[in-house]
Amino acid sequence: MEKAPDALAEKTLASGNARSGQDSGAARRAAFCANVFDVIVRLYGEPGIASWCLEAQTRHAVDVPLLLFFALADSDGHGTDDGEMQRLLERAGEWRSHFVLPLRHLRLTLR
């Protein structure tokens, strides 16, 4: 007679597979975060990207590093919901108001 499958063993196996998927997702996200700055710098150096970014910044007040970060994160499968995006923008807000905007103003004034 064939033995019936052990439900607890199946559940444990499924749970282990789910955890493994979460761990690999966390590892992918950590690797992405560890390398994203270097990738952004290389991307910005590609022909036409800097001028496109500066145009978006001028016309739409876009924060270029955040634009490139979100574009790269999305293309690498690290989506975010509106709440997460809002929290990131809020956390970057102080840096933006104290450093990014004054430097942008200085650059435009000296032009």
Task: Retrieve residue 34's tokens.
Answer: 């560890």
Residue range of the domain that includes 63: 8-79
38-56 pLDDT, tens digit each: 999 999 999 999 999 999 9
- For the chain, what is the domain count? 2
Report the SS3 class of residue 43. Answer: helix
pTM: predicted TM-score of the whole model, two decimal places = 0.66
If you average pLDDT over every residue of the chain, what do you get? Answer: 80
- Same domain as 92, residue 59: no
Quick check: 44 and 68 in contact, CB under 8 A?
Answer: yes
**In sequence order, what are the residues at sequence separation of 6 or more whose Cβ sits closer than 8 angstroms to the Cβ of residue 44?**
50, 53, 64, 68
User: Is residue 58 domain-resident?
Assistant: yes
- Same domain as 99, residue 49: no
CA dist., res. 34 & res. 31, Å (int): 5
- Same domain as 100, residue 66: no
- Same domain as 20, residue 56: yes
